[in-house]
């Protein structure tokens, strides 16, 4: 019998379980997942081991809860666990096994030069030492030494952040991706250095062991909206400027009132500048009639108060739908069963690959 089911291209993507999703996560990554699930063979996962690589002592207790919350949030915005293979990274032990195998060929020197290593280290310290400027400064010195010295500096490497797991972050990420023969990885530009390391590891592995077992993945730059936080900086938990995917109505109203607007617009009939205004940025995402604002605001025909009121109504309408769906799922969805099912499917594919890789490395 002819098999006319067209095989779709494979996509792999993971997200660290950092707590309840916020609108930056949604517009940046998650909305793309929902779109991609119809067009590709998608392997999506909660990168809980990756979440442990920074600050294990602070986070370990909550990663499990965060993971379950994340699954509910994802389902509430339309990720269909039957259309994609969705799993928890630490449930599929082949990720750890391939990480180990790749670590035999991953050059330490290259990992130390990885630019996101430095950035993530900084972000971690900023959170850990919130409000302690002297500690932050000290940390900045350590980061600089670590990044500059490429491993030669004993003092820098004594930092309690210089753990093997963190340095190996891109190696684990490479394992995540190539276990499933991903053709594409939907990522933001910030993750590009990691994908480059993945591609390099594929080439090295194949060359060293004279095999073709792994293939090089390509980045997939999906459309992402830059979502500002309430203060105009990037929306991020560490800046305390987020709006949750399920923000409660009262708190949503309060947060919108707090949003940064054009500082030059003092009165309603002053001409405003929509670019750089946080309220406008959100109208762009939630208001189908956005062009009206773009003409009225610079013409001095609408005030920020009015803009904020209208935005509150528009966003509440959208968020309340998600909130309702999530509340429903909380009662009905069997998260453990969903994760178990996903892990089974993922492990079936990954175990074939890990066997081929072990064979190529001469272990079997
Ligand atoms: N590093 C990614 C992030 O912080 C998460 C991640 C882990 C990932 N493994 C992955 C993303 C594999 C894509 C593919 O956002």
Q: What residues does ligand 1 touch, defined as CB less than 6 Å away?
A: 12-16, 47, 50, 173, 176-177, 185, 187, 191
Look at residue 154 and tell me whether its pLDDT is greater than 70.
Answer: no
Cα atoms in the 13 Å half-sphere on the side-chain side of 303: 8
The whole-number average pLDDT for the span 44-49 is 96
Residue 55 has pLDDT above 80, yes or no: no
Q: Report the nearest-CA residue for atom 9 of ligand 1.
A: 173
For ligand 1, atom 6, the nearest C-alpha belongs to: 14
Distance 296 CA to ligand 1 centre (A): 41
Atom of ligand 1 nearest to the CA of 15: 5
Handedness of CA 140, 18, 161, 163 (dihedral sign): negative
| Mutation probe of ligand 1 site: the residue of 10, 25, 47, 236 with most atoms within 8 A of C-beta | 47
Q: What are 116's two structure tokens?
A: 């996101």
Domain holding 275: CATH number? 1.10.240.10
Give per-residue pLDDT as tens, 225-270.
778 999 999 898 878 999 999 999 999 999 999 999 999 999 989 9
- Domain CATH code at residue 101: 3.40.50.620
Q: Assess whether 174 and 306 both reside in one domain.
A: no
Range of the domain at 136: 109-164
Task: Decide if 40 is inside a domain.
Answer: yes
The minimum-distance atom of ligand 1 relative to the CA of 29 is 15
Residue 84 contacts residue 336 (beta carbons within 8 Å): no
- Residues with Cβ within 8 Å of 170's Cβ and at least 6 positions away in sequence, in order, are 111, 114, 116, 193, 194, 197, 198
32 alpha carbon to ligand 1 midpoint, in Å?
A: 14
> Which is it for the CA torsion 268, 273, 279, 283, positive or negative?
positive
Residue 52 lies in a domain: yes
Q: Model confidence over 204-218: pLDDT tens digits?
A: 999 999 999 999 999
Residue 118 or residue 219, greater confidence: 219
What confidence tens digit (pLDDT) does each residue in 161-190 have? 667 888 899 999 999 999 999 999 998 888
Residue tagged 């389902």 (tokens): 75
pLDDT band at residue 151 using 50, 70 and 90 as cut-offs: very low
At residue 152, the pLDDT reads: 45
Which residue's C-alpha comes closest to atom 14 of ligand 1? 13
200 plus 287 within the same structural domain: no
Residue 182 CB partners (closer than 8 Å, separation 6+): 10, 11, 12, 43, 217
Output the six-digit token pair for 341.
Answer: 């099912």
Same domain, 128 and 70: no
Per-residue confidence at 6, pLDDT binned at 50, 70, 90?
A: low
DSSP 123: H
- In total, how many domains does the chain have? 3
Q: How many CB atoms lie within 10 A of CB 115?
A: 12
Q: Which of 164, 192, 209 is the last residue of a domain?
A: 164
- In 3D space, the residue among 360, 358, 356, 350 whose CA is nearest the CA of residue 178 turns out to be 350
Highest mean pLDDT among 40-44, 136-140, 145-149: 40-44
Distance (Å) from CA 156 to ligand 1 centroid: 26
Asked if residue 198 and residue 341 are part of one domain, the reply reads: yes
pLDDT tens track for 64-115: 999 999 999 999 999 999 999 999 999 999 999 999 999 999 998 888 888 7
| Structure token pair of residue 67 | 């993971």
> How far apart are the two ends of the chain, measured CA to CA in Å?
36
The minimum-distance atom of ligand 1 relative to the CA of 47 is 7
Mean pLDDT of the chain: 89
Kindly indicate the confidence band of residue 7, based on its pLDDT and cuts at 50, 70 and 90.
confident
Q: Is position 295 within any domain? A: yes
2 within some domain: no
Is the domain of 200 the same as that of 318? Answer: no
Nearest CA residue ID for atom 11, ligand 1 = 14
Q: Does the residue 1 lie in any domain?
A: no
Residue 124: partners with Cβ closer than 8 Å, 6 or more residues away? 54, 55, 161
C-alpha 289 to ligand 1 mean position (Å):
35
Rounded to an integer, the average pLDDT of 282-309 is 94
Cα 45 to middle of ligand 1, angstroms:
9
Is the pLDDT score of 4 beyond 60? no
DSSP letter at 7?
A: P
The answer as to whether 284 is a domain residue is yes
Same domain (yes/no): 203, 257 = no
pLDDT above 70 as % of the chain: 90
Instruction: Give the distance (Å) from ligand 1 centre to CA of residue 182.
Output: 13
Q: pLDDT category, 1, cuts 50, 70, 90?
A: very low
Q: Which of 142, 164, 186 corresponds to the end of one domain?
A: 164
Q: Are residues 251 and 295 in the same domain?
A: yes
Cα gap 275→251, rounded to integer Å: 25
Rounded Cα distance, 193 and 115, in Å? 7
**Do 124 and 203 reside in the same domain of the chain?**
no
Who's near 319: CB < 8 A, 6+ residues apart? 245, 246, 247, 252
Task: Kindly indicate the confidence band of residue 146, based on its pLDDT and cuts at 50, 70 and 90.
Answer: low
Q: Is 232 part of any domain?
A: no
Q: Does residue 102 sit in the same domain as residue 213?
A: yes
In a domain, 138, yes or no: yes
DSSP 191: G
Q: Are residues 218 and 268 in the same domain?
A: no
Distance 28 CA to ligand 1 centre (A): 13
Are 159 and 206 part of one and the same domain?
no
Q: For residues 93 and 179, state if they share a domain.
A: yes
pLDDT at 148 over 70: no
């Amino acid at each position: 019998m002819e098999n006319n089911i067209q095989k779709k291209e494979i996509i792999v993507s993971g997200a660290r379980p950092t707590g309840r999703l916020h609108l930056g996560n949604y517009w940046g990554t998650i909305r793309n997942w929902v779109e991609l699930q119809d067009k590709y063979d998608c392997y999506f996962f909660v990168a809980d081991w990756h979440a442990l690589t920074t600050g294990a002592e602070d986070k370990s207790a909550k990663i499990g809860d965060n993971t379950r919350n994340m699954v509910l949030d994802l389902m509430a915005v339309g990720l269909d666990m039957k259309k994609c293979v969705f799993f928890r990274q630490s449930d599929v032990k082949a990720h750890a096994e391939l990480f180990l195998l790749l670590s035999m060929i991953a050059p330490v020197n290259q990992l130390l030069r990885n630019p996101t290593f430095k950035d993530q280290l900084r972000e971690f310290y900023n959170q850990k030492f919130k409000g302690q400027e002297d500690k932050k400064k000290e940390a900045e010195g350590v980061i600089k030494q670590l990044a500059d010295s490429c491993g030669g500096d004993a003092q820098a490497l004594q930092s309690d952040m210089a753990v093997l797991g963190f340095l190996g972050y891109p190696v684990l990420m490479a394992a995540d991706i190539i276990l499933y023969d991903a053709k594409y990885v939907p990522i933001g530009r910030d993750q590009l250095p990691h994908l480059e390391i993945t591609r390099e590891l594929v080439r090295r592995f194949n060359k060293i062991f004279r095999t073709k077992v792994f293939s090089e993945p390509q980045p997939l730059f999906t459309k992402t909206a830059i979502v500002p936080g309430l203060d105009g900086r990037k929306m991020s938990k560490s800046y305390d400027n987020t709006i949750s995917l399920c923000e409660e109505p009262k708190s949503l109203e309060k947060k919108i009132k707090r949003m940064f607007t054009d500082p030059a617009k003092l009165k309603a009939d002053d001409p405003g500048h929509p670019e750089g205004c946080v309220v406008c940025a959100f109208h762009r995402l939630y208001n189908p009639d956005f062009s009206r604002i773009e003409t009225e605001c610079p013409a001095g025909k609408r005030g920020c108060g009015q803009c904020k009121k209208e935005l509150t109504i528009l966003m509440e309408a959208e968020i309340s739908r998600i909130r309702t769906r999530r509340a429903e799922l909380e009662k009905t969805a069997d998260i453990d069963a969903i994760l178990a099912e996903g892990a089974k499917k993922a492990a079936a594919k990954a175990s074939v690959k890990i066997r081929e890789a072990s064979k190529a490395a001469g272990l079997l």
